[in-house]
């Protein structure tokens, strides 16, 4: 699942070398709240799941846990 | 469906408020607002009432339609709150412009223009009315908490109007609602009733921004797909796609999803902000004034807003 998020992030940022770990925050990637929801929408489409958005999703790891629970 | 637009108009407050001006009393900046919304400035009422703005828009639309005020058979106002709780804003406008026809308000939030078209087209088809004046008007500045940078920077005030009559321009019309109050709302005041136990919320606009974004992008895409399927046309056959001007990022995300050229999606949110149901007819008016819409061109218009409401229409311009 981390690989899926990493690929989505690299596509979204148009940077295939982008370094991504669970600890990476969206702020570090210069993504704001609307970028995060747009990323989530792409993942929803790809994985056929519904992601519950919340202000607590601040890092790749946070998004990973929400996806695993979906 | 028997409807065409015969005249348009607008009434915009004089004062334009820039992002820099807002940053004098809010923890924000032009860069922060522009990046997240596409908004550079918005018009805000100072001395103007909604009735003032509506009357200006209405008289322009009536003039463009080539009729007189006494030939208006019905006035429909789309607003979330007029100048008074009662009478309706439509009646206030009727008095101001000297009309004596029936007049009433509807509230479908940002989708109000599309809902108004649904009502008007049905009433035109009934044969009872010949010319209907639709006015969309909002004083959003009255419903905002001006200490909250997440919401108060997004909205503006204004009015836009159009006269509709029998015609063949309208080819498709769809309205819908998916009820979800908590995503986007502005509560009414509760007065001072000693019996009230609801603990009602203050009357400011509240929203879950990320959820609204997702709803809006999905709604726009669904509406466009629905219209194309119903009419058996492709996106390439639509000349102009006017989306509700809520946030530039919503429009850009929709463009990306549809894979269509951005030139087909006009935007005016940079100078008006989000004026709820006013935004689509305002765009229509400004484009007509600039000669950007020509007879025979196909227009798609879609809106989405509190309720949650959504809707769209397709017109082949006459």
Q: Tens digits of per-residue pLDDT, B87-136? A: 999 999 999 999 999 999 999 999 999 999 999 999 999 999 999 999 99
pLDDT at B201: 63
A to B CB pairs, distance under 8 Å: 28
A2-69 CATH: 1.10.1200.10
Closest to B108 measured CA to CA, from B133, B84, B77, B132: B77
Is the previous residue joined to A17 through a cis bond, with omega within 30 degrees of 0? no
Evaluate if residue B189 carries a pLDDT over 80.
no
Which residues make Cβ contacts (< 8 Å) with residue B183, sequence separation at least 6? B207, B208, B211, B212, B215, B306, B308
Largest Cα span, chain B? 60
Evaluate if residue B1 carries a pLDDT over 80.
no
| Number of other residues whose CB lies within 10 A of the CB of residue B251 | 23
Q: Does A41 touch chain B (CB under 8 A)?
A: yes
CA distance B175 to B38: 27
Evaluate if residue B250 carries a pLDDT over 80.
yes
Evaluate if residue A68 carries a pLDDT over 90.
no
pTM for the predicted model, two decimal places: 0.93
- The answer to whether residue B77 is catalytic is no
What is the mean pLDDT of the segment spanning A57-65? 91
What is the mean pLDDT of the segment spanning B42-66? 97
Helix axes A33-47, A2-13, angle to 10 degrees: 130
Contact B57, B284 (CB under 8 A): no
ipTM of the predicted assembly exceeds 0.90: no
Q: Does B150 touch chain A (CB under 8 A)?
A: no
Flag if B210 and A33 touch (Cβ within 8 Å).
yes
Mutation to test the A interface, candidates B36, B209, B214, B220, most A Cβ within 10 Å: B214
| Number of other residues whose CB lies within 10 A of the CB of residue A4 | 13
Instruction: Locate all alpha helices (DSSP H) within B43-141, ordered by sequence.
Output: 50-65, 89-97, 112-125
DSSP B128: S
Flag if B35 and A53 touch (Cβ within 8 Å).
no
Name the residue of chain A whose CA is nearest to B249's CA: A34
| Chain B closest-CA separation from residue A66 CA (Å) | 15
């Amino acid at each position: 699942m981390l690989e899926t998020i990493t690929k989505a992030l690299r596509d979204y940022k148009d940077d295939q070398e982008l370094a991504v770990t669970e600890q990476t925050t969206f702020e570090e990637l210069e993504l704001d709240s609307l970028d995060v929801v747009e990323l989530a929408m792409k993942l929803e489409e790809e994985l056929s799941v519904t992601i519950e958005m919340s202000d607590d999703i601040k890092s790749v790891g946070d998004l990973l846990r929400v996806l695993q629970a979906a | 469906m028997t409807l065409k637009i015969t005249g348009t108009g607008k009434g915009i407050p004089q004062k334009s408020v820039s992002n820099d001006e807002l940053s004098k009393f809010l923890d924000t900046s032009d860069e922060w607002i522009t990046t997240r919304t596409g908004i550079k400035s918005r018009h805000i009422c100072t001395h103007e009432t909604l009735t003032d703005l509506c009357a200006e828009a209405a008289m322009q639309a009536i003039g463009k339609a080539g009729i007189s005020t006494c030939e208006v058979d019905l006035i429909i106002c789309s607003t979330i709150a007029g100048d008074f709780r009662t009478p309706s804003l439509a009646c206030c406008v009727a008095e101001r412009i000297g009309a004596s026809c029936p007049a009433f308000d509807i509230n479908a939030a940002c989708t109000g223009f599309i809902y108004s078209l649904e009502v008007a087209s049905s009433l035109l088809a009934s044969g009872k009315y010949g010319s209907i004046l639709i006015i969309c008007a909002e004083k959003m500045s009255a419903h905002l908490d001006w200490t909250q940078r997440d919401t108060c920077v997004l909205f503006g005030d204004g009015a836009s109007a159009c006269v509709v009559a029998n015609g063949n321009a309208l080819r498709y019309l769809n309205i819908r609602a998916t009820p979800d109050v908590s995503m986007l709302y502005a509560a009414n005041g509760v007065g001072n009733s000693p019996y009230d136990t609801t603990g009602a919320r203050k009357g400011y606009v509240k929203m879950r921004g990320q959820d609204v974004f997702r709803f809006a992008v999905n709604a726009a895409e669904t509406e466009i797909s629905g219209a194309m399927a119903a009419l058996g046309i492709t996106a390439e056959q639509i000349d102009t796609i006017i989306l509700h001007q809520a946030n530039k990022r919503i429009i850009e995300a929709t463009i990306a999803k549809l894979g269509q050229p951005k030139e087909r999606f006009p935007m005016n949110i940079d100078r008006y902000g989000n004026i709820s149901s006013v935004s689509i007819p305002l765009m229509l008016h400004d484009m007509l004034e600039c000669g950007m819409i020509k007879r025979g061109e196909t227009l798609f218009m879609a809106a989405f807003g509190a309720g949650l409401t959504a809707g769209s229409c397709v017109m082949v311009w006459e």
